[in-house]
Amino acid sequence: MDNQRFLPKGAISVDVPYDGPPKTFHFLLLPKTTMLAFSAAIEPLRISNQLARKQLFEWYILSPDGAPVTCSNGIGIQVDHPMHDLDKGAYTFVCSGTEPMASFDARVLNWIRRQKAHGCEFGGICTGAFALAKAGLIGNRKFTVHWENRPGFCENFSTMVPTQNLYEIDGKLRTCGGGHASTDMMLEVIEEMFGNALAVSVSEMCLHRRASESGSRQVSPVSALLGTRNAKLIEAVQIMRDNIESPLSLEAVADQASLSRRHMERLFKQHTNMSPGRFYNNLRLDRAFALLSETNLSVSEIAFASGFSSTDRLSVHFRGRYKVSPHNFRRSWAHDGDG
Q: Indicate if the pLDDT at residue 11 is higher than 80.
A: no
- Look at residues 144, 176, 205 and tell me which one is the last residue of a structural domain: 205
Classify residue 305: in a domain, yes or no: yes
**130 shares a domain with 37:** yes
Classify residue 264: in a domain, yes or no: yes
Average pLDDT over residues 53-71: 97
What integer pLDDT is reported at residue 339 of this predicted model?
Answer: 40
What integer pLDDT is reported at residue 218 of this predicted model?
Answer: 76
**132 shares a domain with 38:** yes
Q: Indicate if the pLDDT at residue 89 is higher than 60.
A: yes
Three-state SS at 312: helix
Considering only 5-9, 94-98, 238-242, 297-301, which range has the smallest mean pLDDT? 5-9
**276 shares a domain with 183:** no
**69 shares a domain with 130:** yes
Classify residue 72: in a domain, yes or no: yes
**97 shares a domain with 123:** yes
CATH of the domain at 286: 1.10.10.60
Average pLDDT over residues 301-307: 95
What integer pLDDT is reported at residue 161 of this predicted model?
Answer: 92
295 or 128, which is more confident: 128
What integer pLDDT is reported at residue 227 of this predicted model?
Answer: 67
Strands (E), the chain: 23-29, 57-63, 69-70, 76-77, 81-82, 91-95, 121-125, 167-170, 173-176
Give the Cβ contact number of residue 318 at 10 Å.
27
**272 shares a domain with 124:** no
Classify residue 324: in a domain, yes or no: yes
**190 shares a domain with 226:** no
**Of the ranges 59-63, 151-155, 240-244, 268-272, the best mean pLDDT one:** 59-63
Average pLDDT over residues 28-33: 97
Q: pLDDT above 90 covers what percent of the chain?
A: 76
Cα dihedral value 105, 108, 113, 118, nearest 10: 170
pLDDT for 158-169, tens place per residue? Answer: 899 999 899 999
Cα dihedral value 90, 57, 176, 229, nearest 10: 170
- According to DSSP H, which parts of 157-220 are helical? 181-194, 196-205
Classify residue 215: in a domain, yes or no: no
CA angle at residue 29 from 160 to 135, to 5 degrees?
A: 35
What integer pLDDT is reported at residue 76 of this predicted model?
Answer: 97
- Look at residues 205, 233, 259 and tell me which one is the last residue of a structural domain: 205
* Domain, as residue range, for 251: 221-338
Average pLDDT over residues 128-137: 97
**165 shares a domain with 23:** yes
Q: How far is CA 7 from CA 50, 81, 334, in A?
A: 6, 20, 43
Classify residue 307: in a domain, yes or no: yes
- Residue 13: pLDDT band (50, 70, 90) is confident
**135 shares a domain with 51:** yes
Considering only 124-133, 200-209, 251-260, which range has the smallest mean pLDDT? 200-209
d(CA 93, CA 123): 5
Classify residue 214: in a domain, yes or no: no
Q: How many residues are there in the chain?
A: 339
Q: Indicate if the pLDDT at residue 91 is higher than 80.
A: yes
What integer pLDDT is reported at residue 337 of this predicted model?
Answer: 47
How many domains are contained in the chain? 2
214 burial level (CB within 10 Å; 0-12, 13-18, 19+): buried
- Look at residues 162, 179, 205 and tell me which one is the last residue of a structural domain: 205
- Residue 248: pLDDT band (50, 70, 90) is very high
| Biggest CA-to-CA distance, the chain | 68
CATH of the domain at 189: 3.40.50.880
Q: Contacts for 155-162 with beta carbons within 8 Å, 24 or more apart?
A: 155/291, 155/294, 155/295, 155/297, 155/305, 156/101, 156/130, 156/294, 156/295, 157/133, 160/133, 162/129
- Residue 338: pLDDT band (50, 70, 90) is very low
**108 shares a domain with 40:** yes
**151 shares a domain with 26:** yes
Q: Indicate if the pLDDT at residue 250 is higher than 80.
A: yes
- Residue 70: pLDDT band (50, 70, 90) is very high
Classify residue 216: in a domain, yes or no: no
**262 shares a domain with 186:** no
